[in-house]
Structure formats: structure tokens, C-alpha cells
Chains A and B, each alone.
Chain A
Amino acid sequence: MSPPEDAPTDGTALSLDHVGVRFGGLVALDDVSLRVPPGRIVGVIGPNGAGKTTLFNVVCGFVPPTSGTLTLDGRPFRPRPHRLTRLGIARTLQGVGLFPGLSVLENVMAGATHTARAGFAAALFGLPRSDRDERRLRERAREVLAELGVDRHAHASPATLPYAVRKRVALARALIARPRLLLLDEPAGGLSAEDIDELARLITTLPTRTGAACSVMLVEHHMDLVMSVCDHIVVLDFGKVIAAGTPAQVRDDPRVTEAYLGAEVIAGETAGPAPGAPDAGPGADDGAPDASGGAPDADGAVRR
């Protein structure tokens, strides 16, 4: 059942307890526990191949956890991708992930497919019930597009729009579902500094949006953004949580610096793998957190 549509909420509480994911011999996530409290913004950071996207894929049901449990609002939760919006969870994809064959408005309307009430017969015979659904969706889509300042592109095809606008449309497609938990997968990727500032402002308002407040879980490489918007940050490396806390705590944690910059920076020029590195893990010693490494892609299913 869909949640009551206009009921004010503080967002949903999500928790992961001891979640593990293995792809054959490769450990993508190892005993990961984290909580997204209602109305909070939680960031997940870590070097490439750390398991951030796998974590999202577990929450979305694309990847079944091999161990551990997920809890949504205190209830055990076995996610399936197409049921998420019904449970009040929406996710944006890395990159853009818009439907190229649909107009901007249609893209956003698609995000609230679960709210449609008319069935197949009503659609086939063009009954007023189906028309009402469409009108309502169209109105809502326009509202969300207007809220994000891109409503003048409603009838454009996504391919003709600048990247930053497309990212906003993708966000609008997630927001039209009125999620109580929003999963943002690298929302700042490919954006200019100016766009990122605006994005940061937008994200911080999400937990207090009138009538549609939501908790936010954010996977991001862009440190400034994560540090400025998140209440709580979880750092992953080689599938393990290596640090967690407030932005200030995480920034000062030597383990985080080590994960990002490699053991060499800390311990001098000592050769050999970083301590605690599993056997087949992708290297994280190239320094730049957002360098797209050619490392084996342990994150599996959804990669853009």
C-alpha cells in the first residue's frame, strides 16, 4: 500500500545490521552496519570499489545480501526494486538514468507510476479514470519540476538538455514519488561548483520539505558536498566500515586519510599492501577519490 500521500512525516528510518555481500570469492560488503535516522542526511563515502554502490544496490534489492538484515521503520525489510516507491523509498542513479525516449515531463510522471489507480482495462478503453490519473500525475510532475526550477523544459527531450538540468530532472523523478527516504547516488557527479552549491542547499532542505520530508542517504565522491550537508558520515573501504561519525570526526580520522591516500603517506615509503586489505581487493592507492579506476568492478549490478 502506498503511504498516505500528504501526511507530514520526518522521513523513514532505515537500518542495516551486519550486512554482507559476496560475489563468489569476492567480498563486496563485510559486516556493514549503519543507521539512517528519520529526517537525517547520512553520507556514505569511500574510495572506488569500496562497496558504496553495492550498498545502495542492497538497499534497493538489486543485490540480495548474503548475510545481515535490513530494517525499515523498525520492520524487517526485504527490498525489491519495483516496490521501493510504494514503501516510500526513491533512488537516483549514477549519471542521469533518464528515459531518453520520454519527454522531461513524462520522465518525471513515470516516477510516480505506483500512485496510478486505474487498471489495464481502464487504460485500454480510455476511461475517465485513466485520464484522471494522467492529469493528476501531470500536475504533480509540473509542480516538482517547478520546485527544482526546470519546468520550462517540461516538453523537451532529455538528450537536448544540459547535464545539470538532466540531473535535476532525475531528482524530480525521484521526488515525485514523495519518498520518505531518498537515496542519492553521486548527485554531484559531473556538476560545476556552482551547481554543486545549489545542490547542497537543496539537499539540506529535503528533511524539512513541507508535506514531503524525507531522510537522505547519499553516496558521493565530492568531499565538500558530503562534509557540508551530512549529519552523519560512514566511510567504507574494501567493503568494511572503517569510520563513522560527524563530518568533523570523520575528517580527522587517520584511518580515513589512510584509505584515501594509501598507507604510504602515513607510514612513509613502506612497500606492500595496506593493512587489512583483503586478497582480491581493487587498489585504492591512486590518491584521487574520484579517479575512475580500471579496478575490477565489485559493485556489480548498477553502474553508470
Chain B
Amino acid sequence: MTQSPYATVDARPSPLRRLLPPPPGAAGPRGSTLLRHLVLAVLAGAAVVLLTNQLEPYRNLQVARVCAFLCVTAGFTILVGLNGQLSLGHGALMATGAYTVALVQRGLDGRDLRGQWSVPLSLLLAVAVTALLGLVIGLAAARLRGPYLAGVTLAVATLVPAVTTIFTGVFNGEQGLPFPVATPPAFLGAYFQPERWLAWIALLAALLTMLLMANLVRSRYGRSLRAVRDDEVAARLAGIHVARTQVLAFVVSAGCAGLGGGVYAVLTATVASGKFPLELSLFLLMAIVIGGLGSLAGAVWGALLLVALQDLPALLTEAFTLPGGLAQRLEGNLALAVFGLILIVVMLVAPGGLQDAVRKATARLGRRRPRPSR
């Protein structure tokens, strides 16, 4: 590819960099990355499974939703935090994954192909389809920077819902597509809580995502992603293919968003474009910024926050017995307002996000040698 003589003029480091936590300590662990992360994943998984056994159905659905969002935020924070690319279209990528799952599930059901394997299969296809869409967006994104990139991804965010209303025959417009999901397997007993089963499915997806993303971050690809974010010219001279790295980041994060969207659809056994509005993309972005850009632990904070704020209006209505009209008005706007407020406060108090604040606090408590600040 020939380079225009001015191709690198615009290669300024992203302003998002300011929000990043300091570089992870590069002290090289000796053992196997896979083993280390696998142990962590199994421990976390066991803890959540124990938790779901104690919870009532509604709470288990909340856990499941956190897990679904975690799939998305984990990949998204790698794109935005580690690679410095902005996307306002990840809500639409979630929708793509969700619709893929719905269509595959309906297709399988129509052919009388039912079983526990159908959900993993359709989730896998959701990842594949979304990653492919991510590849297309990523190829465009690798040529664009800053506001132009935001513009393109914004177009995606509005395009995907539009497609679902145009091709009503396939996507059933705004009514959406209900689809069958297999009930919990028989060996769990006849009275097994279905919500718990859903929480386990979502948990497995989230753990798998976190495991793979953690591996990726610790590898040379993680380093290349950050190098490209920091200085494109120096990255190229270090032997890193900048455009390829940026496309890769988009594909990976899109695949994660597709998985998250697919899991989300499985939880409700239906999908409609109204569930994935533009605000969702903004919420996702705010969530990873508040959680701590570029940090997988921050992605967990972000996922928790997303569910907490979604449920906030319902919680308030319940607690204060608000009049119906007010409750309805809150429904649409409260989450956005609270999210914005939290974002401002976090940026003022802990610009590195919640995870960075937690890390600093524990460092202070533990009297450890503080890591170098940015």
C-alpha cells in the first residue's frame, strides 16, 4: 500500500489516552498465562454459581444481564481503552448478535432441530456474523480518526435498527422476533429455576470472553494495540502493522458485542430493535469510561453499572410509590441523567475510572510500592 506523504500527519495520540490507567506492571509472570487466567475464571465462576443458587428468579436474571453486558464491555474496553478507537455503534453490534440468535433459533426450531446445543451454536454464529460486520466497519475505521470514526460508527448505530424495520418480512419490524429457547436440561430436576439456568449460560459466555480477552491483553497483541493507540508512527517503525491492528481490535470487540447481544436475546427469548437504541451505545461507552478504560476489571464495573441503572427507575417506583405519570417519565430519562452525573463525578474525582480508584486505594492500604503514574 502506498502511503500518502501526509498520511501520518493526523497520527496524534487519542485524547482518550488521558483517561487511561497507568501501564500495567510489566513484571513478567513465569507460569502459563492460560493456566493463571483459567484458575481465576473458574474461581469467579464458582462464586457466581454459588450466588445464583441463593438468589430469587428476578435477581438471577439481573446476574445474567450483568454477564451479557460484561461480554460487550470487555471487548469494547479493548477497542476504546487499549486501541484508542471510538465506536458509537456497539449497541447496534449487540443488536446484530441478538437478531442472529433469534433467526438461527427460529430456523432450527422450524426444522424440528431442538436441544441444548442450539443456544451455543446460535451464539457462535452470532459472534461470527458480528465479527464479520466488525471487519467491515474496522476496515473503514482504520482509515478514519476521531470525529470521523465516531460519525461512521454512529451511522452503523442508526442503520441496523433501520434495516430491521425495512425488511419487515425477515425481522418483523418493531414488534421483533420471539424465539424458542431450550428449557433447563432434565438432569437438573423438574423444578429447576429457569432463570438460574439462563444466568449460568450468560455466566459461561462472560467467563469465556473475559478469559480470552485477558489472554489477548497479556500477549504481544495487547502490547501492539496499546502501541498503536499511543503513537502510530513509532508503532509502524517497531514493525507493527497499524491498520491491521486497528481492524483486529474492531473485529474482536464486535465479536464480543455480538456474543453479549446474543446472550441478552436468549435471556428474554425475544429480540426487537427498540431494545438497542442509540442510547445503548452511549451507555456502553459511558460504562467502560466510568469503570476504567482499557481495564477488564473496569469492564466488570461497567456491566454492573449498566444493569443497576437500567433497573433504577423500577427500584425507585417500588420504594417511593411514585405516581404513574412520573414513573413513566423517569423510565426513559433517569438512567441517562444518572449515568451522565456519575460520569462527570467519576471524571472529576477519579479520572482513571472506578477500577483505577480501587487500585490506588488498595495500593495505599497495602503500602505497596506504588506503580508509576502515567
Contact = CB atoms under 8 A, between A and B. Distances in A.
Q: Is B truly associated with A? A: yes
Nearest to A63: B5
Contact of B231 (A84, A99, A111, A156): A99
A47 B297 CA distance: 52
Contacts of B242: 82
25 contacts: A62-B7, A64-B3, A81-B237, A82-B239, A84-B237, A99-B226, A101-B17, A101-B229, A101-B230, A105-B26, A110-B224, A110-B238, A110-B240, A120-B221, A125-B212, A128-B32, A134-B28, A157-B374, A159-B374, A173-B238, A300-B5, A300-B9, A301-B7, A301-B9, A301-B233
A245 interface: no
B303 interface: no
B207 to A, nearest CB: 14
A203 interface: no
A180 interface: no
Nearest to A183: B237
A123 B216 contact: yes
A128 B372 CA distance: 29
B333 interface: no
Contacts of B25: 103, 155
A155 B26 contact: yes
Contacts of A155: 25-27, 372
Interface residues of A, number: 60
Contacts of A64: 2-3, 5
Interface string B215-251: 1101111011011011101111111111000001000
Contacts of A81: 3, 233, 236-237
Contacts of B220: 109, 113, 116, 118, 123, 130, 133-134, 137
Contacts of B237: 60, 81-82, 84-85, 90-91, 93
B47 to A, nearest CB: 21
B227 A97 contact: no
Contacts of A97: 231, 233-234
B235 to A, nearest CB: 7
Give the bracket for the number of chain B residues in contact with chain A.
35 or more
Given A84-B237, A101-B374, A123-B219, 18 more contacts: A60-B237, A85-B238, A85-B239, A99-B226, A101-B229, A106-B26, A111-B239, A113-B220, A118-B220, A120-B248, A122-B219, A123-B221, A134-B219, A138-B26, A138-B28, A300-B6, A301-B7, A301-B233
Nearest to B217: A123
A135 B218 CA distance: 12
Nearest to B17: A101
Interface in B1-49: 1-3, 5-9, 13, 17, 20, 22-28, 32-34, 37
Interface string A60-94: 11111000000000000000111111100011010
Interface in A106-147: 106, 109-114, 116, 118, 120, 122-128, 130-131, 133-135, 137-138
Interface in A22-38: 23
B363 to A, nearest CB: 14
B372 A93 contact: no
B5 A23 contact: yes
B231 A113 contact: no
Interface in B262-319: none
Contact of A100 (B218, B236, B374): B374
A137 B211 CA distance: 23
B321 interface: no
Contact of B212 (A106, A124, A128): A124
A85 B224 CA distance: 15
A125 B32 CA distance: 11
B20 A101 contact: yes
A102 interface: yes
Nearest to A112: B239
Interface in A254-294: none
A181 interface: no
Contacts of A133: 219-220
B224 A126 contact: no
Given A93-B237, A113-B239, A126-B34, A62 B219 contact: no
A301 B8 contact: yes
Given A98-B234, A124-B212, A159-B374, A110 B229 contact: no
Contacts of B5: 21, 23, 62-64, 300-301
Contact of A123 (B8, B27, B215, B239): B215
A154 interface: yes
Nearest to A99: B230
Contact of A99 (B227, B373, B374): B227
Contacts of B221: 120, 123
Interface in A223-255: none
A135 B239 CA distance: 19
A186 to B, nearest CB: 15
A213 interface: no
Given A93-B237, A97-B234, A100-B17, A157 B227 contact: no
A156 B37 CA distance: 25
Nearest to B23: A103
Contacts of A93: 233-234, 237
Nearest to B7: A301
Contacts of A101: 17, 20, 23, 226, 229-230, 374
A90 B25 CA distance: 26
Contacts of A159: 374
Contacts of B238: 85, 110-111, 113, 173, 177
Given A110-B227, A113-B238, A126-B32, A100 B13 contact: yes
